[in-house]
Amino acid sequence: MNITRENIDELNAIVKVDIAKDDYSGNVDKILKDYRKNANIPGFRKGHVPMGMVQKQYGKAVLVDEVNKLLQDALNKYLTEEKLDVLGNPLPKEQENFDWNQENYSFEFELGLSPQFDVNLETKKPITHYNIVAGEKMIDDQVKHIQKQYGKLVSKDVAEEGDVVAGTFKNEEEEIENQTSFSLDKLKGKKNLNKFVGAKVGDTVSLNTKGLFEDDHQLMELLKVEHDKAHGLDVEVEFIISEINTQELAELNQELFDKLFPNQEVKSVDDLKEKIKEDAAKQFKQQSDQQLLNDVTEALIENNEFDLPKEFLQKWIQTVGEKPLTEDEAKEEYDKSEKGLRFQLIEGKLISENDLQVKFEELKSFSTDRIKEQMAQFGQMDPSQKELDDIAARVLSNQDEVKRLSEQMMNEKLLGFYKENIKLEEKEVTYEDFVKEIYK
């Protein structure tokens, strides 16, 4: 067997694999002899079928199979030994008048080579790293939410804005009849709200389901209709009021503070607000870090220009899926995925050159830390090391979990690397301003 390579340019090459009869004949003969031993052909005793008949019936299929196995093994070994960094997979070149009846064969493969480049971390301008904080309105809303959550419902006779009404939705024709309760705050539009304000227990309120709530999905729960029916549902329903309650807010006192934060120093409303602010900052950190990863990704793609074997990749995309694509479809798919491919190459180079690979011991420790955090949420503050190790072993035996945790850990490693090596500009914003700025 002989393998040679011709470099077309820096990004494209042709590999030629020559296979001689001596390379495959031994395996083919052995397989055919095994077939002969086990073949059941009428008129012949088992093991006594003429080899010519076995050759005629199975010879071509065995030959093709063995040559293809030999070809793939040789090609993979060659790419590994030559340390060729290829994109996609080698594409076999079509050969006219190929004849399996000859003894020696030549195969050619197109290769798309990974470009050579150095990653430039110098961005045109500093990248914003957002420090997202809870604004006063968000904190006040959270305090009010806590008061409602720990408050109590007080029965009343006449409905007002903000009350909770219980009753039954009905429409005989649509077979709707469901007992439920909801806050009047959920209603969309002043017109619908005004139908309830001043209503009493026992009253019937007529409503149209179209635009009754901000989200049609609420009709699924409150009217007990299916998902597809809820979207755009436009029918008249009656709501027979059976109960009216007002939400009496919980008092902001030490008893409530102790329920919310046992064994912690929360002694006043100001302490409560500070605690809410701290907890919100922890939750916002994940969004801030994800946004930083997104912005760094865009900056690195823009900042690192290099050529790709575009025509090769488009040809490869045509063949790689379950269903072959047309040339135009492949071009469209390439255009969609080009930026992602560029970043994969940039990221791979950063990981390799800066030793950011995820090692098993690191993954095990990372997994154990996540398990401890989850157990703490359920009040298990001091699990034994054996218990943690047993759970971690079960988690790491699941390949999907290993992949998910590895991706999380790699993101953390890359995030740390970016924070140390890329010029950032810290910016404190409220969550509302962050949303406006990012999704403007």
pLDDT in tens, 196-221: 999 999 999 999 999 999 888 899 99
pLDDT band at residue 34 under the 50/70/90 scheme: confident
Q: Distance between CA 305 and CA 342 in Å, rounded? A: 9
More confident residue, 41 or 55: 55
pLDDT (mean) for 369-390:
86
pLDDT in tens, 313-352: 999 999 988 888 999 999 999 999 999 999 999 999 999 9
For the chain, the straight-line distance linking the first and the last C-alpha, in angstroms and rounded, comes to 62
Angle in degrees, 0-180, between the axes of helices 431-438 and 136-149, rounded to the nearest 10: 120
Of 16, 24, 108, 106, whose CA–CA distance to 65 is shortest?
A: 24
pLDDT (mean) for 420-432:
95
Tokens of 247: 């939400």
pLDDT band at residue 47 under the 50/70/90 scheme: confident
Q: Give the chain's domains with CATH numbers.
A: 2-113 (3.30.70.1050), 152-248 (3.10.50.30), 267-306+354-438 (no CATH)
Total Cβ atoms within 10 A of residue 85: 12
Tokens of 127: 């990248």
DSSP structural state of residue 213: B
pLDDT band at residue 21 under the 50/70/90 scheme: very high
pLDDT in tens, 380-390: 878 889 999 99
Tokens of 254: 């030490």
Q: Distance between CA 335 and CA 337 in Å, rounded? A: 6
In three-state secondary structure terms, 339 is helix
Q: Distance between CA 293 and CA 129 in Å, rounded? A: 10
pLDDT in tens, 268-322: 999 999 999 999 999 999 999 999 999 999 999 999 999 999 999 999 999 988 8
Of 158, 178, 176, 160, whose CA–CA distance to 168 is shortest?
A: 178
pLDDT band at residue 122 under the 50/70/90 scheme: very high
Q: Distance between CA 279 and CA 301 in Å, rounded? A: 34
pLDDT in tens, 389-419: 999 999 999 999 999 999 999 999 999 999 9
Distances (CA, A) of 371 to 358, 382, 410, 437: 18, 12, 18, 35
The residue count for the chain:
440
Q: What percent of the chain has pLDDT over 70?
A: 100
Q: Distance between CA 193 and CA 189 in Å, rounded? A: 7
> What are the backbone dihedrals phi and psi of residue 235, each rounded to the nearest 5 degrees, phi first?
-140, 160
Per-residue model confidence (pLDDT) at position 380: 80
Which distant-in-sequence residues (6+ apart) come within 8 Å of 243 by Cβ?
155, 165, 166, 167, 181, 201
The two beta strands, 236-248 and 164-171, are antiparallel
Q: Distance between CA 395 and CA 391 in Å, rounded? A: 6
| 237 pLDDT higher than 80 | yes
Tokens of 53: 């008949």
Cα angle for residues 173, 177, 183 (degrees, 5° grid): 125
Rounded to two decimals, what is the model's pTM?
0.73
Of 139, 157, 135, whose CA–CA distance to 147 is shortest?
A: 139
| 379 pLDDT higher than 80 | no
Per-residue model confidence (pLDDT) at position 276: 94
Indicate the average pLDDT of the chain. Answer: 92
Q: Give bridge partners of residue 106 from the DSSP assignment.
A: 18
